[in-house]
Structures are given as C-alpha cells and as structure tokens.
Structure 1
Amino acid sequence: MWTIWWVWIAGGFALGVAEVLLPGFIFLGFAAGAVLTGVLLGIGLSVSLPLTLLIFALLSLAAWIALRATVGVQSGQVKLWDKDINDN
C-alpha cells in the first residue's frame, strides 16, 4: 500500500482539505510532500518503505521551507518585545 502512487496523492489531497478546515500552514507542507512523493512513485521510483518515508519527510521539509519563504510571517503579524518588564 505504501508504494502505490495514488494512495500518496489521495493522502496529500486529504491533508490539503485538513489545511483548509484547520488553517495555519501546518498540513500544507505535508500535503505537498505527499503529492510529490506520489508523483515520484508514479513515474517509476521503486524503493523500500523506510526510503519512501525518508523521501516524504525531505520533500515535506523542503515544501514547508519554500512555503515559509514565500508566504511566511508577515511584518506586524508577530509582536517582538524589545524590553522585558523585569529589566531595571
């Protein structure tokens, strides 16, 4: 089951739906990694389960980094504190 390409793509779409229902850019990187893993398996990549999971993890990390760089934290979204209340 882990080497069937359409299972990975369907899982990626399910994670994409989860991202829409639970926003926060948490599932989007995993969704992209799953879809890309499914594409790699679809074009003929035949590897063992541990290597498939490693490929999924690396593609998910790369997708998350790319998403963070493109849509990341906007200015003004996060409050940065310059002074602590306990500083004298």
Structure 2
Amino acid sequence: MSWFGIWWAWIVFGFAMGVLEVIAPAYVFLGFAIGAVVTGVLVGIGVLGGLPATLLVFALASLAAWFMTRRMLGPQAGTAKIWDRDINDN
C-alpha cells in the first residue's frame, strides 16, 4: 500500500504544509494544508479508497480552501493606504 491510502500520512502532510505556511506566509500552503487534512479525514473514515479519487478530492479540497482563505484573508478592494502628508513635514 502506498502512502496515498494511509490516513495519518495525509494528516502529517497537512501539518507539514501548515508549518511551511508559518515559515513562508503566502496563504498558498494553507490551502494545501487544509486540503490534506480533509483528505486524511476522508481516507480515515473510509470514504476514499482509490488513488485517482484521493488525488481528485485533495485537489478540489485544496482549491476550495485556497479560495476561502483568499476571500477571508486576502487583499480587500479599496483598502490601499493613501498618504496625504510626508513624515518629514512639521
């Protein structure tokens, strides 16, 4: 059996992606982390069995998590800071 069918391997992979997100914050690895944990839970409860289905669920869960985190934590429209005076003005 490869690691694709082992539930705890997906959870460990998710936590590793979470650590990588803390080291290099870009909100990209967070989507992969959430997708891996969701996939690990689904493999653990027996919903997923085959390799193609597991990879498809991982890809879709990661993409959905990335869109959610981008929506919640990403740049907001119209939030650019406009400076109206210089720091050196008295």
Superposition TM-score, scaled by structure 1 size: 0.81
Following TM superposition, the consecutive aligned residue runs of length 4 or more in structure 1 with deviations greater than 3 angstroms are: none
Per-residue deviation, 1:65: 0.7
Partner of 1:28: 30
Aligned length: 77
Query: In the alignment, which residue of structure 1 is the partner of 2:43?
Result: 41
What displacement does 1:6 show?
0.3
The whole-number CA distance in structure 2 between the counterparts of 1:20 and 1:73 is 19
Decide which structure has the larger Cα Rg and report it: 2
1:4 paired residue number: 6
- Following superposition, the deviation at residue 76 of structure 1 comes to 1.7
Q: Tell me the equivalent position of 1:67.
A: 69
Q: Which runs of 5+ in 1 are unaligned?
A: 78-88
| Distance apart, 1:22 and its partner CA | 0.7
Alpha-carbon RMSD: 1.3
Partner in structure 2 of residue 18 of structure 1: 20
Q: Distance in 1 between matches of 2:50 and 2:42?
A: 13
Unpaired stretches in structure 2, ≥5 consecutive residues: 82-90
